[in-house]
Amino acid sequence: MEHSYTLTASCPDRVGIIARVASFIAEHGGWILESSYHSDADNGCAGRYYMRVQMKADSLAFRLSELRQRFAPIAEELQMTWRVTDSAVRKRVVVLVSKQGHCLYDLLARWQSKELDVEIPCVISNHDALRGFVEWHGIPFHHIPVSGDNKAEAFAEVQRIFEEVHGDVMVLARYMQIIPPDLCAAYPVRIINIHHSFLPSFVGARPYHQAYERGVKLIGATCHYVTADLDQGPIIEQDVIRIDHSDSVDDLVRYGKDIEKTVLARGLRFHLDDRVLQHGCKTVVFR
């Protein structure tokens, strides 16, 4: 991929936002590769404005640190929440998993084939069952059991490891533990979960059994950011598959695993490519 910088920002909507940002880039010789914009009106009035602008890194006469420094006054003027990332810096993904390995298998296959161009410094699990598979890939495996008696200590160790390996994002690849509120608060919009349900329907455990009992005709999966409210975080990506009365619970689980893998991979890629902008309980995803 061509070396690029990506600016993502949101701010109160007003006239001239695109012109102000594009003029700044052009004044410094910046070559825009891709740009996306969205105006989110609030009850018919001016709401919030979202943008993603990707530019050639070598078209600018200065490096990323100076780009941030020069852009800061404009961001302050426009009251922006913003960041600029460098495509040359590979993001570090720490994967958490329990016993079901299908999402982990898929992520490691994509990582090994360079489809996901990331670093995976370690995998953390509350069970030891997947150690051999992970270590076969040359990735360190940490077994941190979680029980009612040691939950605070266990998640303190998860946080310690995440900090030690300089993790950028934590991915819950069917990690069947509730993340404590203090850990959610420590990493807002940096913990991604795959829930085996088309949220907000069938939250919590055994959603396929809940769906079967309700006789639904569609089942799905949801990739979302983790917050202190269980399964209520901002949604990144979703998908569904049609089922009918002849399908058993086991069939639903089998179909669902296929959806979970693809939805998690897409949602993670959107996050890694800086295509997700979050505000409150909603996201804007520039595909």
Domain boundary among 63, 86, 109: 86
pTM over 0.95: no
Residues 116 and 155: beta-carbon distance below 8 Å: no
Shared domain for 64 and 136, answered yes or no, is: no
pLDDT exceeds 60 at position 45: no
In this prediction, residue 58 carries a pLDDT of 96
Residues 179 and 98: beta-carbon distance below 8 Å: no
> Which is nearest to 108 in space by CA: 125, 98, 120?
120
Shared domain for 143 and 224, answered yes or no, is: yes
User: How does strand 93-97 pair with strand 169-172?
Assistant: parallel
Shared domain for 78 and 209, answered yes or no, is: no
Shared domain for 9 and 77, answered yes or no, is: yes
In this prediction, residue 206 carries a pLDDT of 79
Range of the domain at 214: 93-285
* Angstrom distances, CA of residue 248 to CA of 131, 203, 208: 31, 20, 10
Taking the CA of residue 213 as centre, how many other CA atoms within 13 Å lie in the half-sphere pointing to its CB?
A: 7
Q: How far apart are CA 95 and CA 239, in angstroms?
A: 22
The H or E element spanning position 286 is none
Q: Which two tokens stand for residue 11?
A: 């701010």
Domain boundary among 60, 86, 112: 86
Domain boundary among 47, 65, 86: 86
Q: How far apart are CA 117 and CA 154, in angstroms?
A: 29
Shared domain for 111 and 253, answered yes or no, is: yes
- pLDDT tens digits, residue range 8-44? 999 999 999 999 999 999 999 999 999 999 998 765 5
In this prediction, residue 234 carries a pLDDT of 95
Domain count, the chain: 2
Q: Can you tell me the mean pLDDT for 96-103?
A: 96
Residues β-bridged to residue 56:
4
Shared domain for 111 and 20, answered yes or no, is: no
- pLDDT tens digits, residue range 163-204? 999 999 999 999 999 999 999 999 999 999 999 877 667 777
pLDDT exceeds 60 at position 152: yes
Return the active site residues: 231
In this prediction, residue 1 carries a pLDDT of 76
**Residue 122 sits in a domain of what CATH number?**
3.40.50.170
Q: How far apart are CA 239 and CA 218, in angstroms?
A: 10
Question: Nearest-5° angle of CA 44, CA 46, CA 47?
Answer: 100
**Residue 32 sits in a domain of what CATH number?**
3.30.70.260
Q: How far apart are CA 230 and CA 181, in angstroms?
A: 10
Euclidean distance between the first and final Cα of the chain, in Å? 17
- pLDDT tens digits, residue range 226-249? 999 988 999 999 999 998 889 898
